[in-house]
Structure 1
Amino acid sequence: MLVIEAKLKGTQAQYSKLDEAIRTGQFIRNTCLRYWEDNKGVTRNDLQKLCALLAKNKQTPWAKKLNSQARQAHADRAWSAIQRFYQNCRLGRPGKKGYPRYKKFSRSVEYKNSGWKLSASRRQITFTDGFQVGMMDLWSSRDLVWYSEKQISRVRVIRRADGYYAQFLVDWNRREEHDFQGKMTGIDLGLKEFYTDSDGNTVDNPRYLRKSEGRLKMLQRRVSKKQVLGKKQSKRYHKCRSSLAKEHLKVSRQREDKARKEALAL
């Protein structure tokens, strides 16, 4: 499997509709979890049937707007959490068993084989479910033109601090060929150095979080000063909160980029 990520560019109205789709997916998952708690002997098929009932229920008209396979995907998320809890109980693992929890701040919605359509150039994607998001541009350094829509098994829309992203799960056998020289090298990850190999070579730890601590503290103080308990938060508060989230996202991406580059260099 191969995951290709592209940034979604659209209007503010389209972003608002994506937020509605994300909240609807969260509602489906939490409803399935509540149904499992209130009834005994609930199976995965029962949760799939519950999705159809929610779409037909006049009291929840927003559930029908979400694509049917997307509703099933969120029911599968709830069932995965339930199965993980059952497995931990059967194995008798010490500590907490991971009881399924309700989601409060979901940031993604997942589509399967329907509810979306790529353009011929693979530069735009159109969401065709009831939320009527419409066509959005795809910004990515990796080209999707080499893959057909049949190879894309799932599309996940993710909301991050700096915008909205679409992840494409592509059915592709990835092969990386190396010219084996008959020599093996062991590595030891550490805190002072990023890693040390068996030959004594070391790679310095960039310490991205340590270098960004000053700015993170400043942004956190701004958020705390503008927060008013028990009242609706101001626009300045949300602006500062967004800046803080972007800084954390930057550090996370720096760490991931460093780890990937060093792993490929070995």
Structure 2
Amino acid sequence: MIVREAKLKNGTKEQYLALDEAIRTAQFIRNKAVRFWMDNQGVSKAVLYALCKDLAKEFPFAKKLNSAARQASAERAWAAISSFYSRCKKGAGKKGYPKFKKYCRSVEYKVSGWKLSDDCKSITFTDGFEAGTFSIFCNNETQEDLHRLKINRVRVVRRADGYYAQFCFDVDRKEKGEYTGNVVGLDLGLKFFTKDQNDNAVIYPQFLRKSEKRLKKAQRRLSKKFVKGAKPQSKNYHKQRKRLGKIHLKIQRQRKDWAIKQARYVVHSNDVVVYEDLKIANMVKNHCLAKSISDASWYQFTQWLDYYGKIWDKAVVAVSPNYTSQDC
């Protein structure tokens, strides 16, 4: 599956509020499906689909959401349930019992509930919330895919800097790789982000550390504007909350961009890539190193290594981290 993202622009305040209502409704249906499973364990995915119809009859605001979007919300609940079952069968670590979502930020439509313009430069949401038409702002590659590929799903995502539409295409991405015959073994660390068997090291830019001063300043300002017991909080509080969210969003994007570029370079330059399969969830329990480990974003880097390995049909192997620092 290929996912392309575009920003939704030129909408009014009422239109964005309508998108917020759709997101809250999707969260409501997902939580109701989880609650139904807790009360009636052993139910199937089809029963959760049927529950969506009953919720639409019972709650008028739920009926406004497109029927396919209601089913997609039930699918999210079922994904959490099936993941819980699989972890129970493996019997290792925490089971991860399905939880209720409190701050959901997206709603997913299937083939209905939206309509793309002929020139693929605007999208209209046609469900009961009547969000209306938004302009699409994206790069040329996304525009080309919108014209030539069939869209399976459209996901609306709310972020600190606005609303985005993610277009999902049911296409397997495959590219012809350039084979060099090189083999590399990567040792992941904090002093050096990666170090190979030839002592070639890459230093991580530490995006969180560099932005920490700005983050603390924004957080202090947010705390000063918070009034205990006030519901709702003031407009200035919410403005500052959005400013803080944009700083976090920038750090997140910097990490992702770094991980993509590094992983792409490593896989492109080598035919076989071997890296440490680190148990990061256990490592961050060390409070002295937790911030640095999270900032390094090893997991994201290794995920992109696997991704580019599949695209270019190259061998990317995860090995046990035991003794890898002594003998890379």
TM-score scaled by structure 2?
0.77
In structure 2, the residue matched to 1:135 is: 133
Give yes or no for contact 2:120–2:146 (8 Å, CA) kept in 1: no
State the alpha-carbon separation in 2 of the partners of residues 172 and 39 from structure 1: 37
Structure 1 counterpart of 2:261, one-letter code? K
Residue type matched to 1:25 in 2? A
For 2:62, give the aligned amino acid. Answer: A
Render the CA deviation track for 1:134-187: whole Å, top value 9, x for unaligned. 111111113334445872111110000000001111122322322212221222
Give the corresponding residue for 1:257: 257
Deviation per CA, 1:182-229: give whole Å up to 9, x if none: 221222222122222233222221111110000101111111111112
SS state at 1:126 partner? strand
TM-score (norm 1): 0.94
8 Å Cα contact 2:84-2:95 kept in structure 1: yes
Cα distance in 2 between the residues matched to 1:105 and 1:66: 18
Structure 1 residues 212 and 40, CA, compared in 2 at 3 Å: closer, same or farther? closer
The Cα RMSD (Å) is 1.5
Amino acid at match of 1:68: S
Partner of 2:33: 32
Q: Is the 8 A contact 1:22 1:109 kept in 2?
A: yes
Distance in 2 separating the partners of 1:105 and 1:183: 46
Secondary structure, in 3 states, of the residue corresponding to 1:30? helix
Q: Is the 8 A contact 1:25 1:109 kept in 2?
A: yes
**Residue from 109, 112, 117 that aligns with 1:111:** 109
Q: Does 1:167 align with 2:159?
A: no
Match of 2:90 in 1: 91
Gaps of 5+ in 1: none
What's the secondary structure of 1:143's corresponding residue?
Answer: helix
Q: Measure how far apart 1:127 and its partner are.
A: 0.8
Q: Is 2:246 the partner of 1:243?
A: no
Contact preservation (8 Å) 1:4, 1:167: yes
C-alpha distance in structure 2 between counterparts of 1:33 and 1:113, whole Å: 25
Give the Å deviation of 1:30. 1.0
Alpha-carbon distance in 1 for matches of 2:185, 2:150? 37
Once the 2 structures are TM-superposed, how far is the Cα of residue 263 of structure 1 from its aligned partner? Answer: 1.4
Paired residue type of 1:118: L
Percent of residue pairs bearing the same amino acid type: 57
Q: Distance in 2 between matches of 1:247 and 1:40?
A: 42
Instruction: Find the aligned partners of 1:209 and 1:143 in 2 and give their Cα distance.
Output: 30
Task: Give the AA of the match of 2:74.
Answer: A
User: 1:122, 1:143 within 8 Å by CA — same for their partners in 2?
Assistant: no
- Residue equivalent to 1:184: 183
The answer to whether the Cα contact below 8 Å between 1:118 and 1:149 also exists between their aligned partners in 2 is no
Report 1 or 2 for greater relative contact order, CA contacts < 8 Å, sequence distance ≥ 6.
1
